[in-house]
Structure 1
Amino acid sequence: MIPGPDQALITRNSLAGGRRAGLLTMVGGMLGLSVHVSAAALGISAVLLASATAFTVLKAVGAAYLVWMGVATLRGAGRTLRERPGEDEAGAPARPQGRHLRYGFLSNALNPKVALFFVTFLPQFLPTRGSVLPRALLLSLLFAVLYVLWFSLYVCTVDRLGRWLRRPRVRGRIEQVTGLLLIGFAARLALQPS
């Protein structure tokens, strides 16, 4: 529930593409989380975090992706703020919906802080003897359910407020803030010690 790149992307895509775009971004984010959950359950995340080079590479790629998304969002904000009242994207060509899924996936899959979270969080609740995989999968499923419930509620709230939030000036300002937040998250990630 703490604001972060997921919330920024989901807000942006919900405003620009509606409920479906927000939900696809959320599903992509959950799939990106599943990469780190699986890696933590299998012990791969510990290897990643033990290698300063691997962690730094993932951190750099993740930060670059967030900067790219932030700049794209800021450019979109400029276009939105130039719209005239009553003008909308009705005449614009339809964009593929799969990109929202991809944005959410890459946002989490390329974020080493997610790997760090799961490698420190998950082991605390795993048995010290026997097979850990069933318990790790159960905890991961629980996390996924909470993620989906929270962001589904969030997307529905943004969608309900959509008429007001989608007005060009309001949406443009929200996109500007979102773009700056994404760039800020990228800077924070890049400056994170390895």
Structure 2
Amino acid sequence: MSVLSDPQQLLLFVGASAALVGLPGPNLVYICTRSIAQGTGAGMVSALGVETGTLIHALATAFGVAALVSTEPAALKAITLLGAAYLLYLGIRALAGAGSPGNSAQPVPRRLWSVYREGILVNVLNPKVMLFFLAFLPQWVSHDADGTRARTELLALAAITFTVALVMDLGYAATAGALARRLRGRALPGRGRARYLVALVYLGLAAAAMFS
């Protein structure tokens, strides 16, 4: 029987997805960082970008691209290095902004399209997300499903995972944004120091990606 037609199994799948999605990682750190640095709206847009990347990983899994890439160590390493390089770029850009004039503690304005695009790239260039989909989703597909049915079930399960992850990410963005507003109201360090903190987060993620 398919998980999709068994309420108990479906509930178990949703719970497992929520538990795994809730684990700290680059996606969660990126979303919270954007909410703190730019406001709740930007954090929510970054969540949409991150979960758009989730859909890309899901499609790659359903159509066999992820399995093909996972068998090539060089391809996995290349994706890892690209992701680390992108995070390094974001960190350097934040450092450059930290040295600019202005000491306002208000959120730093950024185009929301840029935030959305960054969210996609942070997720897509993280091979651990791809490996997660390869390891997790196929376990819930019916054992007797043929190619077309298996792909359909994979896409349906991916859509559920996407929905669960998006709801949780929007919650993280709202929470981080609310905390940032409260802290800004207490006259904490201004924009320059906030950008140094953002840069430190990105550089730390880049280092973790390169050496993990």
Which TM-score applies when normalising by structure 1? 0.83
Structure 1 unaligned spans of 5+:
none
User: How far apart are the structure 1 equivalents of 2:194 and 2:37?
Assistant: 11
Q: Is the 8 A contact 1:32 1:105 kept in 2?
A: yes
Deviates more, 1:173-182 or 1:68-77: 173-182
The AA in structure 1 aligned to 2:134 is: V
Q: Give the aligned partner of residue 70 of structure 2.
A: 49
Choose from 145, 167, 177 the match for 2:163.
Answer: 145
User: How far apart are the structure 1 equivalents of 2:176 and 2:201?
Assistant: 18
Choose from 38, 45, 55 the match for 1:17.
Answer: 38
**Identity over aligned pairs, percent:** 32
Q: Is the 8 A contact 1:73 1:179 kept in 2?
A: yes
Alignment of 1:155-174 (within 5 A): 155-166=173-184, 169=189
Q: Give the aligned partner of residue 127 of structure 2.
A: 112
User: How far apart are the structure 2 equivalents of 1:187 and 1:36?
Assistant: 23
Alignment length (residue pairs): 186
Structure 2 unaligned spans of 5+:
1-21
- CA RMSD of the aligned region, Å? 2.5
Which TM-score applies when normalising by structure 2? 0.76
Q: Is the 8 A contact 1:8 1:178 kept in 2?
A: no
Alignment of 1:1-194 (within 5 A): 1-79=22-100, 83-84=102-103, 87=104, 95-130=110-145, 131-166=149-184, 169=189, 175-192=195-212
Instruction: Encode CA deviations 1:49-79: one digit per residue, 9 max, x unaligned.
Output: 1012211211111110111122223444455
Q: Is the 8 A contact 1:24 1:101 kept in 2?
A: yes
Tell me the CA shift for residue 37 of structure 1.
1.0
The AA in structure 1 aligned to 2:202 is: L
The AA in structure 1 aligned to 2:164 is: L
Q: Is the 8 A contact 2:69 2:76 kept in 1?
A: yes
Equivalent position SS for 1:128:
coil
Q: Is the 8 A contact 2:105 2:191 kept in 1?
A: no
User: How far apart are the structure 1 equivalents of 2:62 and 2:48?
Assistant: 21
Q: Is the 8 A contact 2:79 2:125 kept in 1?
A: yes
User: How far apart are the structure 2 equivalents of 1:78 and 1:165?
Assistant: 22
Tell me the CA shift for residue 88 of structure 1.
5.4
User: How far apart are the structure 2 equivalents of 1:63 and 1:72?
Assistant: 14
Q: Is the 8 A contact 1:67 1:182 kept in 2?
A: yes
Summarize the Cα distance change of 1:141–1:170 in structure 2 as closer, same or farther, 3 Å threshold. farther
